[in-house]
Amino acid sequence: MIHVENAHKRYRLRKVLDGVSFTAQKGQITCLIGMNGAGKSTLLKAIMGLTPLSKGSIRVDGVQSSRELYEKVSFIPDHTAMPGGYRLEEGLRFMADYYHSWNEARAAELMTFFNLNEGDRVGNLSKGMAAKFGLVLGLAADTEFVLMDEPFSGIDLFSRELIGEVFSSRLIEDRGVLITTHEIDEIEHLLDRAVLLKDGKVARDIDCEQVRDEEGKSVLDVMREVYRT
């Protein structure tokens, strides 16, 4: 379980996170929802130990961030961190060298699934293909948690569907998934939980099926309530 407790973060005078607490469970897909600038990416980076919090704590399976975290949690940023001159196969080799948890067979499977060409250069990928390559890099490792920052943003519908397909497949298996998004679109029925951020706080933290069951509302309905007031 990823446990974020009372997270505070300031950029100069602006309070981005003002006491955010939530959990992301293994075997579930949790979605952090918020408008642009709501601190979603900051939270993912904070979980990975890439940015310090002003206050608060983050624990992954009870442990505060450590080096072992990188073998346990993979992070797919919203833009690839690979040098543009790399061929995709070089990118894969780079990952294999750095991560013990790298699973070569799964990487190959993902490359085929997304129809990516190993000889292409990272810098020449379209936005949709770059997003897919990001998913290959993030999902190929045998990690217990996967964090994805805006995996659907700016890519075409067909790629979205393909990426949605990954969420329901055994490529995710029993891992815990935490994704961020500012639009819910066609992924809403894939989510277990949604955490809605507003003004640096958690405005609502919902079990998606429960909200449909008890309130007859979609996640989008709940978003309207939160963000239109």
Partner 1 sequence: MDNHGGWMETAFNTRDPVYLQVVRLFKERIVTGRLTAGEAIPSRREIAALLKMNPNTAQRAYKEMEEQGLIVTEGNSPSRITRDEDVLRHIRSELLGEAVRTFIGSIRNMQVPLQEVIDLVKQEYEVDAKGAPSAGGGGA
Question: Where does this chain bind partner 1 (CB under 8 A)?
Answer: 27-29, 161, 164-165, 167-170, 188-192, 209, 212-213, 216-221
Q: How far is the CB of 188 from partner 1 (least distance, A)?
A: 5
Query: CB 200 → partner 1: shortest distance, Å?
Result: 28
For residues 146 and 172, the answer to whether their CB atoms sit within 8 Å is: yes
Q: How far apart are the C-alpha atoms of 118 and 49, rounded to whole Å?
A: 31
Q: Which residue has the tokens 């346990």?
A: 72
Closer to partner 1 at the Cβ: 167 or 227? 167
Q: How far apart are CA 21 and CA 127, in angstroms?
A: 32
To partner 1, the closest distance from the beta carbon of 174 in angstroms equals: 9
Closest alpha carbon to 88 in 57, 132, 48: 132
Locate 82 and state its tokens.
Answer: 């690979």
**Least distance to partner 1 from the beta carbon of 78, Å?**
23
**DSSP run (H or E) holding 43:** helix 40-47
Pick 118 or 161: Cβ nearer partner 1: 161
Q: Which is nearer to partner 1, 94 or 167 (CB)?
A: 167
Q: 128, 170 in Cβ contact below 8 A?
A: no
For partner 1, the closer of residues 9 and 193 by Cβ is 193
Closest to partner 1 by CB, 2 vs 122, is 2
How many Å apart are CA 76 and CA 74, to the nearest integer?
7
Q: What's the min distance (Å) between Cβ of 84 and partner 1?
A: 32
